[in-house]
């Protein structure tokens, strides 16, 4: 299935049905009076979060959605039938934006969550509604109200607890493959990962978290270089970032600063998220290079640097433990916020 994380669609709720002018006509009833019914309500446009979906590909080729008009009223005070809603099913984590791509209309993060994006029009009144003591035979009936319509942007943001960031070939896909059951593409050239990958990391029978591998950033990504920063939206929900740096390259400080600059340029609070810094490919470094590069990174960043090897898994369990602790602290803080 093709991965698609953004789509633009047009939606229109159904118009309300028309009211009608009708009079009661029955044998032996001389003054029947008005009995025109009201129109039915038009269908709503509803967005529903559905577990199991992981792409917006359904909205790549079908981009217009219109609910049906409500039924017209009828004589004998019969109200027109209301129309069924049109339900748009989206993956968990989808953000519904207005046409300006900035106004958030809904954030679909709970399974089964439903939000009415466009409300169907109410039905018009039939002439029975306008009967009064002084107007015994009204001949007025109103048309139904129009349903709302608008252009929408659907933008999917993966719901992951932790995110992997780094330059291309920093070893992110290898790391994800050894700590989870995910099978990302791994090769010795840049940009082997072309879309985000998710993996579930299980530390034991009771502890687990979701880890997202984001395609590599390069200098100028905020201006569109390489794959740009388009996929960084998928780590906006993460509690912690694991920043992997290729230890086999001669200048790890520059690699770190490049990614940090692009995170800051993107915004979304990514630069302020908790970050664990790991020098990867420990197996490809000499003891002297290992010591000098760790020292340079710690001096430049002012934070501890972990040494790991995705290939041999050396140092990986300790990093996973630190990620899990940060994730669980974040979950506890969110739970306290919700109950406050």
> Cα separation of 195 and 165, whole Å?
13
- How far does Cα 42 stand from its chain's mean position? 28
CA atoms within 13 A on the CB side of 5: 14
Q: DSSP label at 42? A: P
Residues annotated as binding site for GTP? Answer: 166-173, 191-195, 213-216, 280-283, 309-311
Q: Phi and psi (nearest 5°) for 262?
A: -70, -35
Extract the annotated binding site for Mg(2+).
Answer: 173, 193
- Are the C-beta atoms of residues 169 and 280 closer than 8 Å to each other? no
Q: Are 246 and 254 in contact (CB under 8 A)?
A: no
Instruction: Please check whether residue 182 is in contact with residue 201, taking contact to mean a CB–CB distance below 8 angstroms.
Output: no
Cβ atoms of 129 and 152 closer than 8 Å: no
Strands 94-97 and 275-280 come out as unpaired
Annotated binding site: 166-173, 191-195, 213-216, 280-283, 309-311
């Amino acid at each position: 299935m093709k991965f698609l994380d953004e789509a633009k669609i047009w939606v229109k709720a159904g118009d309300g049905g028309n009211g009608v002018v009708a009079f009661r006509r029955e044998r032996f009833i001389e003054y029947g009076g008005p009995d025109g019914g009201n129109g039915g309500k038009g269908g709503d446009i509803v967005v529903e979060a559905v577990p199991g979906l992981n792409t917006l590909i359904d909205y790549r080729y079908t981009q217009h959605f219109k609910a049906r008009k409500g039924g017209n009223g009828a004589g004998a005070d019969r109200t027109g039938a209301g129309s069924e809603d049109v339900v748009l099913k989206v993956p968990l984590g989808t953000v519904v934006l207005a046409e300006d791509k900035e106004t958030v209309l809904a954030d679909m993060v709970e399974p089964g969550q439903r939000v009415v994006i466009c409300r169907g029009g109410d039905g018009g009144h039939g002439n029975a509604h306008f009967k009064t003591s002084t107007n015994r035979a009204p001949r007025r009936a109103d048309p139904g109200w129009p349903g709302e319509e608008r252009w929408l942007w659907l933008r999917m943001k993966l719901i992951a607890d932790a995110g992997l960031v780094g330059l291309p070939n920093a070893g992110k896909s290898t790391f994800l493959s050894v700590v989870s059951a995910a099978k990302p593409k791994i090769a010795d050239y840049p940009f082997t990962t072309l879309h985000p990958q998710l993996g579930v990391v299980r530390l034991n029978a009771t502890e687990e978290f979701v880890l997202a591998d984001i395609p590599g950033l390069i200098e100028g990504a905020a201006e569109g270089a390489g794959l740009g920063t388009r996929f960084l939206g998928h780590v906006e929900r993460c509690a912690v970032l694991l920043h992997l740096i290729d230890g086999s390259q001669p200048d790890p400080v520059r690699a770190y600063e490049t990614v940090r600059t692009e995170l800051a340029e993107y915004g979304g609070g990514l630069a302020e998220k908790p970050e664990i810094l790991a020098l990867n490919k420990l197996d490809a470094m000499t003891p002297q290079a290992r010591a000098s590069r760790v020292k340079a990174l710690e001096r430049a960043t002012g934070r501890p640097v972990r040494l790991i090897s995705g290939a041999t898994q050396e140092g990986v369990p300790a990093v996973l433990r630190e990620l899990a602790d940060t994730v669980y602290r974040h979950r506890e803080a969110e739970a306290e916020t919700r109950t406050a």
